[in-house]
Structure 1
């Protein structure tokens, strides 16, 4: 009996020992048990830049929709021959990486993240949610990161909620609230983050301006009168600076091994018509020297028709956009000036819309290295460039479309909102002459969050590329 008890005791000890070792085996030796705010901030900035500037959401989708770029081979996305697996990266990385990591910073105790970290994280989370709702429409917002199957909120609820979130972010940011490291955009300059916050508030004010003009006016007034100011120079631009491989700009990395994009004929023709000095920046001359001029590729062509244009006879995007260190640009002085011009034109704030419009164009030209005063003045003096107060949407919309070159997601949103320039779908496009108005929801939402997905689609409209979103009134 004593021998039996000894065996049982030994077995229990061995089992306990194995259990302890199993716990150790299941630990990831590379995992950070206590995540640090600076590293999370650095990671979200880099991942956000890749998400915004990369192929899936930019040059293989939204840049094609707005006819900044065109495909010269593998033309399916340029013909809108896509599925609900095409637009998953913005959703998955937006929620499961960016929002998750930013929520971690926001929820840190004070000893792990001072209020400046929290204000920056709330700003970046707002920017992420803005990208998501602009692309898809109704999205999980209030319950995002809180529930496994979060409910979707309408675009109206998301926009108005983000205005409040950005107010809170502004209240958290102050030069006296501690230092910030890990900031690869503004190097811990809290005053520049405060300018970005107000600039995003102004952006959202115009997003809602056709549906909720009273709230839009209030938001515009608050954003422009806040002591933090707005982005007021190209040195304030919200952009991520890449370096060299493997930390290079995604477009540069793409063109190292592939050659399936050209600048769009639509944009080249418009820049030529305007004698626009940005053309040599936006495009390269064809490699066939006998061509001798910039030639854009047609959008929405069949693979054979696209190939027939000639790889050597058409213009690649400019080398400025295809170098390793090209920045991923998210928000600019030019955009803020355009937004101020529109806010004045709508009667939301006081000011001179024409001067702001000219200032926006000048800021864009300067952003791309065109700083000669005579060149700028000559461009602005052309009748085709003059501000038209009777149709501010056409003047601002067309020039903003040009200035947003490379910023596909925001160019796509502003083109849908302002309806200028007038674009025509390519001859082999699949949507009966229409250009997409949104991204598909990822197919996984139907299987993993089906009830919320069905409720959102029932309220917003069918999960189609052509379903117009709440802000898009025309």
Structure 2
């Protein structure tokens, strides 16, 4: 089955191809590619500029409003809404999630592809390897959110204006293969790259990120394909190349306006979001030292405690709480230069702990779990040994080998604060923390478990769209994806 997708021509700045190309005869395709040139496009693009652009665009989408704090962070109850609360009540429409889809396909993946092509021409395999890692990360975000997505044929506008959808199982398998390909290309002793705004052109760190992404996918599919999960875990651990400190976290660090963090950009002109009551209550109950990092005290100086907003209030009920009486996210997240975090040392340790708990490795699950929490605390500047020890030794924090999903799920949810899409995927997979649906949610006690496809997929590609959802399941917020087995 074939789908029309919105793809930019394979050059920076080129125009987005209209869905009307579906109607074009194959004999016209070369002419369409020729005439749809942007006269302002760079004729001789350089891979370093394309690399930086792809990283920036991808980070903006991942950390931005549509994919993050207006959707996935609300669903996982990291943030809540104090004004215009429809998204917090799961009232979404066919354009709610379109930014993740359209920008990734039309811009980010296109820049990556051209960068990789130029890397081949320049005989610089490190650009090619970095491109494969970035492709893998972007496709992971897409399939985690939507399920089946164009993967194997995405970006082939020269040969077809259509792109078939691959099942989620096929996409994850393809991502793992692509990361293996990346590792064959990435050579710290090879030709240097430039323009890398994530790792500062450090190829050794890109190799660690590639293996860490493989570990993420291995655990993502652990319930759906335990055999492949185990093989991948063992392969990754034997490599000895994983993110091994907070200094190696994969993150995009923003600069001052206009190249600032999307959260800071939003709060500079709006006042719609607050930290969720779910997070505040949980961190208070654990005496968690990350609370002052994650939340700000209310603007009303008479209130000396952090005040979260219940998720899914009606607009009138939310407004009645008072803008000055509730807690915004912490100043750490509101800074212009706050990083968009792609993957952390803490996450890698949690993944290793879970792999051990599942008998996919012979490592010590409890020790890795404690190390993961410690790494998260350290990430936010909490380094006092006695404070960390006191936190870890609480009965409510100690590792429970009889229910590793509860222990890991609860603590991982805290550590992924701000990383809405990743938190959303892990909450669905581990089923912890056990959240209660939005107070005035549109669907009663049900919480969404996927994003719906952009409405353009229905209007421009109706027949193919219907075939796709017939295979995967109804295109609504509650169709479980392949990896989500429990």
Q: Is the 8 A contact 2:81 2:311 kept in 1?
A: yes
Unaligned runs of 5+ in 2: 1-34
Match of 1:421 in 2: 433
The counterpart of 1:209, out of the listed 219, 222, 237, is 222
Q: Distance in 2 between matches of 1:292 and 1:27?
A: 58
- 1:290 shift after superposition: 1.7
| Structure 1 gaps, min length 5 | 1-24
Aligned equivalent of 2:88, options 78, 93, 98: 78
Residue in structure 2 matching 1:334, options 301, 323, 346:
346
Q: Using the alignment, how far apart are the partners of 2:321 and 2:231 within structure 1?
A: 50
Residue in 1 aligned with 2:78? Answer: 68
The equivalent of 2:281 in structure 1 is 269
SS at 2:224's partner residue?
Answer: coil
Within 5 Å, give how 1:424-439 maps onto structure 2.
Answer: 424-439=436-451
Equivalent-residue separation in structure 2 for 1:310 and 1:338 (angstroms): 38
**Which shifted more, 316-325 or 305-314?**
305-314
CA distance in 2, matches of 1:113, 1:420: 47
Aligned partner of 1:355 in structure 2 is 367
State how far apart, in whole Å, the 1-side matches of 2:87 and 2:346 are: 29
**Offset of residue 109 of structure 1:** 5.8
User: How many angstroms apart in 1 are the aligned matches of 2:397 and 2:119?
Assistant: 53
Partner of 1:16: none
Aligned counterpart, 2:101? 91
Distance apart, 1:26 and its partner CA: 10
Deviation at 1:28, TM superposition (A): 5.5
Q: For 2:54, which of 17, 26, 44 is the aligned residue?
A: 44
Residue 212 (structure 2) pairs with residue 199 (structure 1): yes
How far apart in 2 are the matches of 1:43 and 1:434?
A: 38
Larger radius of gyration: 1
CA contact (8 A) 2:310 2:439 kept: no
Name the residue aligned to 2:12. none
For residue 60 of structure 1, give the secondary structure of its aligned residue in structure 2.
helix
Tell me how far apart the structure 2 counterparts of residues 225 and 98 of structure 1 sit (CA, whole Å): 32
Number of the residue aligned with 1:54: 64
Residues 1:394 and 2:406 are matched in the alignment: yes
Equivalent in the alignment of 2:139: 129
Q: Within 1, Cα distance between the matches of 2:329 and 2:38?
A: 43
Q: Structure 2 length normalisation: TM-score?
A: 0.91
The match for 1:459 is: 471
- RMSD of aligned Cα (Å): 1.4
1:179 aligns to 2:189 (yes or no): no
SS state of the match for residue 246, structure 1?
coil
- How far apart in 1 are the matches of 2:229 and 2:432? 21
Segment of structure 1 superposing worse, 206-215 or 97-106: 97-106
Shift of 1:131: 0.2
Q: Does 1:253 align with 2:271?
A: no
Contact 2:153 2:164 (C-alpha < 8 Å) held by counterparts: yes
Q: Please say if 1:384 is aligned against 2:396.
A: yes
Q: TM-score, normalised by structure 1?
A: 0.93
Q: Deviations over 1:117-151 (max 9, x none)?
A: 00000100010000000000011111111232211
**In 2, Cα distance between the equivalents of 1:44 and 1:364?**
27
Counterpart of 1:154 in structure 2 is 167
Q: Does 1:307 align with 2:324?
A: no
State the shift of 1:310 in Å.
Answer: 1.5
